[in-house]
Structure 1
Amino acid sequence: MYITITKQHSGLNYKGSVGDFVEYLEKENEDKDLEVEEYFFDQYNDRVSPEQVIKGIDENTARLPKKAPKFYSLVISPSPRELKHIGNNPEKLRIYTRELMKDYAASFYRDKRVTVDDIKYYAKLEHTRTFKGTDLQIVENQPYATKIQELKKEIRHIEAGKTKGNLNVLRTKMQKLEAEAPHQQHGKRIVQGMKKDGMQSHIHIIVSRTDASNKLSLSPGSQYKKSETPLNGVKVKRGFNRDEFFKAAEKTFDKTFRFQRNFVESYKAKKMLLNNPKMFFSLLSGLPTSQKQVALSLLHKAGVNVPNIPTNTVQLAFKTFMKLKKGVENAVRSGSIGI
């Protein structure tokens, strides 16, 4: 499971409508028949029109400062293994979203308990993804892409009569580079913007910064961590516990769908990789054989080659260790493995 939380972006100007974002999320419905379109939904309604979403978010901004974000965007990206476990079922993803938003509400630290009915949100399923510049496949294919672009430029110059050269030789070199690029899909070099193969379903959630009553500000921003702030001489609870939310989101998926999560898929492992990477690889090496095989398979599919993990972390050479750590981090960022 890979989850991101981002605030409304428009430079320093947050006066704009959510309309542009809603229009962006409608892109997958283009050229689709009505019966197969994906609709926005909320906690209790399966079909919410784009117009209702825009109205619901844009009119729910009372008491917000001019430069404060009016809404936040959550992207919930189940891993391929998680999607396979639930059969890539849209209805199960909607069920999970509604349970997840209960966890979201419970992660706010307030004097009065926040429930899902206090949250104004709208969600949308998407079933395709494209490769981004930060994806491991794009990063590792980049040296080949650069050389191919140089050859294309040279070919254009020859065709325009600016320079002389053998076009056939250059085109043969280009074809060889295309074939040698380490990451291919259906026999073609993976490039930025190409649609990803396999199950790619994910969930976009638009959450109003203001609660459903349009009175209370509820920000999941990282700068608003769990704390108690003096207000008129009285300590007031405030903040959002992201750590608690990410843990709960994972636990909810596992409990709802009886998913047996491997160590490298866990939020605990992700934190450990960032804060204590040697411990991460030490625990990975100490897994029972069957679990370790699954873990190594998941890492391999994500593009991280771990042929042999030393049982003693002291044996892990610094250069090898950093290469492994960077590979896992790239896989995490690209959502290739669900941690």
Structure 2
Amino acid sequence: MVTNFSSPIKGANGGSCSRLAGYLEKENNQLPPGQQEAFFSSQSDKVSQIEVVAGIDRNGAAQGLKTGQDRFYTFTIDPSQKELAHIGGDRDKLRDYTRAVMDNYAANFGKGIESRELVWYAKIEYSRHYAHDDKAVQEGAAQKGQPKEGDQTHIHVIVSRFKERQQEGERSTSLSPLTNHRQAGGAIGNGFDRVNFIQANERSFDQKFSYSREQTETFDHARAARSEHQPDRLAARDQAIKAQIDRVRPQPQRDQDQATRQERPTHQEPTQSNYLSR
């Protein structure tokens, strides 16, 4: 499960979200009205593009921002093909999960805010295409603009920078997921911890849909595999090898190995929650 804070429309977050909302209608432009995918929110499964633009723009107006400052943010929720297969590609489950992600988003600011107090909208999309910077394109295995293989379902989220106003004209709390304010010990204090957010989203998916996540599917494993710190890379590689061996080992042997491990004295290793910069 990947949560990616990037925008398909570069440099547009300082003004109206109309360009982004229009871009997210690209799949609908190829479909008849009865088959089009609507935006959704915390309260509704069907929100129009007009309502999305009005809701985000109105909440960001007259909030004291300087010209060019972000008025809204966007990120994608990218389930793996295995995760999508686990829930059968169910749209209702994807909406339900997105709402859980937004609960995590609100809680991660540490200000006692709930997702129902935010202004956000989301859109499910079903296809992706290769870009010029994809490894497959650079190596000549695919062409730019070519559809990617397999289930490419993902969710785009647009969320206002500000908590929802209670009355017209008031200034509400500013909430930026791109700011990490670290305390002296390295922990995130008054800010948004993106690592914790991604980890919370993994847990929400696993708990909500009874998904048994292998170690090699976790964000922690992927982060260790990319680490410049060699012991972390080696540990991630060893975990992947062990997971592969476990998949092909007969069940009786796996049960015996598990019993043997349980009989051995345990040694608690220190955690390495901050071994990569966030």
TM above 0.5, yes or no, is: yes
Tell me which amino acid in the other structure corresponds to 1:140: E
Tell me which amino acid in the other structure corresponds to 1:128: S
Partner of 2:154: 202
Secondary structure of 1:21 counterpart: helix
Partner of 2:73: 72
1:138, 1:191 within 8 Å by CA — same for their partners in 2?
Answer: yes
Q: 1:217 to 1:138 in 2, by over 3 A?
A: same
* Segment of structure 1 superposing worse, 57-66 or 80-89: 57-66
Query: What is the CA distance between 1:117 and its match in structure 2?
Result: 1.6
Distance 2:127 2:13 in 1: 29
Q: 1:139 to 1:8 in 2, by over 3 A?
A: closer
Encode CA deviations 1:267-316: one digit per residue, 9 max, x unaligned. 110121123212211222233723479xxxxxxxxxxxxxxxxxxxxxxx
Amino-acid identity (%): 32
Higher helix share: 1
* Segment of structure 1 superposing worse, 241-250 or 284-293: 284-293
- Aligned residue among 216, 223, 227 for 1:271: 223
User: Following TM superposition, where does structure 1 have runs of at least 4 consecutive aligned residues deviating by more than 4 angstroms?
Assistant: 7-11
Query: What is the CA distance between 1:59 and its match in structure 2?
Result: 1.2
Superposition pairs of residues 298-317 of structure 1, within 5 angstroms: none
Query: What is the CA distance between 1:135 and its match in structure 2?
Result: 2.5
2:13, 2:72 within 8 Å by CA — same for their partners in 1?
Answer: no
Encode CA deviations 1:125-151: one digit per residue, 9 max, x unaligned. 00111112233322221xxxxxxxxxx
User: Within the alignment, does 1:249 sit opposite 2:201 as a pair?
Assistant: yes
RMSD over aligned Cα, in angstroms? 2.2
Distance 2:120 2:132 in 1: 30
Q: 1:291 to 1:80 in 2, by over 3 A?
A: same
Partner of 1:323: none
1:226, 1:240 within 8 Å by CA — same for their partners in 2?
Answer: no
Tell me which amino acid in the other structure corresponds to 1:33: P
Encode CA deviations 1:76-126: one digit per residue, 9 max, x unaligned. 11111111111111111111101111011111133xx11112221000000
2:13, 2:73 within 8 Å by CA — same for their partners in 1?
Answer: no
Partner of 1:96: 97
1:109, 1:241 within 8 Å by CA — same for their partners in 2?
Answer: no
- Aligned residue among 176, 195, 200 for 1:219: 176
Q: 1:96 to 1:226 in 2, by over 3 A?
A: farther
Secondary structure of 1:279 counterpart: helix
Distance 1:292 1:273 in 2: 23
Which has the larger Rg?
1
2:9, 2:20 within 8 Å by CA — same for their partners in 1?
Answer: no
Distance 1:271 1:202 in 2: 21
Q: 1:55 to 1:225 in 2, by over 3 A?
A: same
Unpaired stretches in structure 1, ≥5 consecutive residues: 142-182, 184-189, 229-236, 294-339
Q: TM-score, normalised by structure 1?
A: 0.64
Query: What is the CA distance between 1:226 and its match in structure 2?
Result: 5.2
User: Within the alignment, does 1:281 sit opposite 2:233 as a pair?
Assistant: no
Q: 1:53 to 1:227 in 2, by over 3 A?
A: farther
Between the two proteins, the alignment pairs up a number of residues equal to 234
Partner of 1:290: 246
Distance 2:248 2:176 in 1: 39
1:129, 1:200 within 8 Å by CA — same for their partners in 2?
Answer: yes
Distance 1:14 1:64 in 2: 12
Partner of 1:42: 41
Distance 1:288 1:140 in 2: 27
Secondary structure of 2:6 counterpart: strand
Distance 2:213 2:160 in 1: 32
2:24, 2:123 within 8 Å by CA — same for their partners in 1?
Answer: yes
Unpaired stretches in structure 2, ≥5 consecutive residues: 166-170, 250-278
Partner of 1:105: 106
Tell me which amino acid in the other structure corresponds to 2:47: V
Q: 1:123 to 1:196 in 2, by over 3 A?
A: same
Encode CA deviations 1:149-186: one digit per residue, 9 max, x unaligned. xxxxxxxxxxxxxxxxxxxxxxxxxxxxxxxxxx4xxx
Q: 1:10 to 1:246 in 2, by over 3 A?
A: closer
